[in-house]
Amino acid sequence: MTTRYITTPIYYLNGEPHLGHIYTTIAGDVLARYWRLAGARVKFLTGTDEHGQKVAQAADAAGETPKAYADRMAKLFLDVSQKINASYDVFLRTTEKRHHEAAQALWSKLEAAGQIYKSTYSGWYAVRDEAYYEESEIFEGKAPTGAPVEWVEEPSYFFRLSAWEKPLLEYYEANPQAILPIGRRNEVLSFIKGGLRDLSISRTKFSWGVAVPQDPQHVMYVWIDALTNYITALGYPNVEGEELQTFWPESLHLIGKDIIRFHAVYWPAFLLAAGLPPPKRIFAHGWWTHDGEKMSKSLGNVIDPFKLIDVYGLDPVRYFLVREIPFGQDGDYSEAAMLSRVNSDLANDLGNLVQRVLSFIYKNAEAQIPQPDELLGVDRDLLAKAGHLHDLLRDDMQAQALQAYCQHIWEVIGEANRYIDGQKPWSLKKSESPQDHLRMKTVLYVLAEVIRHVAIYTQPLMPDSASKILDQLGQTERTFVALTTPLKSGIPLTEPTPLFPRIERES
């Protein structure tokens, strides 16, 4: 049986969830839903990264204890995951006991393998990025990301990252698809080739974190703790357990490009050092801006997902995010772009197709899937295009080409709309000839069959809307296997209602 393990980053709790966070989770959800419909056994993980200096400082600023602050903020991330209809199997919080145990077990394993030593760290640290920086990377007192840095000098445990330079390069050489897109892979390779220094993996200046085993003066560096979440959720340290054995070899980490170094350098090195294989694939997507500007609290232009969904509806937001930019590239959110997608792709293309065809059948063909007569070349062509979706879409999903997934479906929607205009079922209806009436039924059958394909494949993108279309079509079988048998005639339709009203620009 095919298995898939799909993860999002676990999000920091220092601020409220915004568009960028829901983007990764929606992308993961689309993949998870697709693979379930394809018959795979799927585990989809998301959650919150609750430790570290950044969260401790945010709690302090809010006048709360870190734990009380974390509980309050984690609730918002849980709420937004539900608001976007994310079908996660596990929502993991790093403050959970099982996670502390897993992180400590990984640490002990690394220590036993001689991969950890104690020394002193003196260097730059950016709390905003929770990252160490080399002297050579600091420019005008800032990290390359623009984050302010502070000088840190403290006793620290180190991980022998330098020892993993060669094994990592060999691993990526042998697994050219392990980091996507390819531009990100090149970036990672050149970073590794530039030389890896041992990594400080504990802090002593604050205590909000997972205690280092046998030395509780130290808390683990938040990234070693955070990255472990991906195996905590599979029952680590039980490496022989069914979950780890089944899902880890099929792991896909979806992340933003900002955190590629942690995922593609540190994490695989920790895993190799602990005797575990690196993740199968890390896919780093691009960055959303808002009207051309970086979203930031200080600019006040952060998009609130709750408000966005209240204005446009959940499914249009999900569709927009996936369709608007190629997965892996940067993109810009603007109200104009959003409105254009809703009105053209959803209201005009998909919405009109479904509404025109289903209400026509409802009114003029006894409100049931018609019995087709002899199929003509045009009919077969359109049905073949819908049939080809199976392989095209599978390839798209194997490559995390989420935008292409939408485009392929919408090409068929476009063909179907052209077919209606060409076949003119309304003229056939008006004709006196019984032959024309039979032809009308054939045309409507073909369209209903194409709509069934489109709706079934649209479920991962827009679960609620696709489900309404399938309800209206009277379809109960909704996995991809259902498409291996032709649409049955005679199934009663329910009265169609418009799915995607046009939205006019406010003001």
Could you list the residues that contact ligand ME8 (CB under 6 A)?
9-12, 20-21, 23-24, 49, 226-227, 229, 255-256, 258-259, 287-288, 295
> Cβ 61 to ligand ME8, closest distance in Å?
17
Nearer to ligand ME8, 213 or 256 (CB): 256
* Ramachandran category for residue 410: left, alpha or beta (phi over 0 → left; psi -120 to 50 → alpha): alpha
Nearer to ligand ME8, 7 or 442 (CB): 7
Q: Which amino acid is at 22?
A: I
Q: Which pair of structure tokens corresponds to residue 166? A: 């060669």
Instruction: Closer to ligand ME8 by CB, 279 or 351: give it.
Output: 279
Q: Report H helices in 240-313.
A: 242-247, 260-261, 267-273, 305-312
Q: How far is the CB of 295 from ligand ME8 (least distance, A)?
A: 5
Q: How far apart, in Å, do the first and last CA atoms of the chain sit?
A: 53
Output the smallest distance, CB 85 to ligand ME8, in A. Answer: 18
Smallest separation (angstroms) from ligand ME8 to the CB of 172: 20
Which residue's CB is nearer to ligand ME8, number 14 or number 417? 14
> Distance between CA atoms of 492 and 361, rounded to whole angstroms?
10
191 or 287: whose CB is closer to ligand ME8? 287
| Complex with ligand ME8: residue 227 or 342, whichever CB lies closer | 227
Cα radius of gyration rounded to whole Å, the chain:
26
Cβ closest to ligand ME8, residue 11 vs residue 327: 11
The two tokens of residue 348 are 């005009």
Q: What residues are paired with 180 via a beta bridge?
A: 283
Closest-approach residue to ligand ME8 (CB): 20
Collapsed DSSP state (helix, strand, coil) of residue 206: coil
Q: CA 467 to CA 40: how far, in whole Å?
A: 20
Answer for the pair 14, 54: CB distance below 8 angstroms, yes or no. yes
Give whichever of 107 and 457 is closer to ligand ME8, judged by the CB atom: 107
Dihedral angle sign, alpha carbons of residues 410, 411, 417, 423: negative
CB 226, min distance to ligand ME8, A: 4
Instruction: Tell the smallest beta-carbon distance from residue 462 to ligand ME8 (Å).
Output: 21
Residue 53, Ramachandran bin (φ over 0: left; ψ between -120 and 50: alpha; else beta): alpha
Determine the Cα–Cα distance for residues 357 and 496; give it in Å rounded to an integer.
9
- 14 vs 343 by CB, closer to ligand ME8: 14
Minimum CB separation of residue 16 from ligand ME8 in Å reads 11
Q: What is the dihedral of CA 223, 224, 229, 231, to 10 degrees?
A: 150
In the complex, the smallest distance separating the C-beta of residue 257 from ligand ME8, rounded to whole angstroms, is 7
Give dist(CA 42, CA 367) in Å, integer.
37
Q: Which is nearer to ligand ME8, 161 or 393 (CB)?
A: 161
Smallest separation, CB 81 to ligand ME8 (Å): 13
Q: How far is the CB of 250 from ligand ME8 (least distance, A)?
A: 18
Rounded to whole angstroms, how far apart are CA atoms 219 and 112? 18
Element (H, E) at 319: helix 314-324
> Looking at the DSSP assignment, which residues form a beta bridge with residue 255?
284
What sign does the dihedral 403-404-407-409 (CA atoms) show? negative
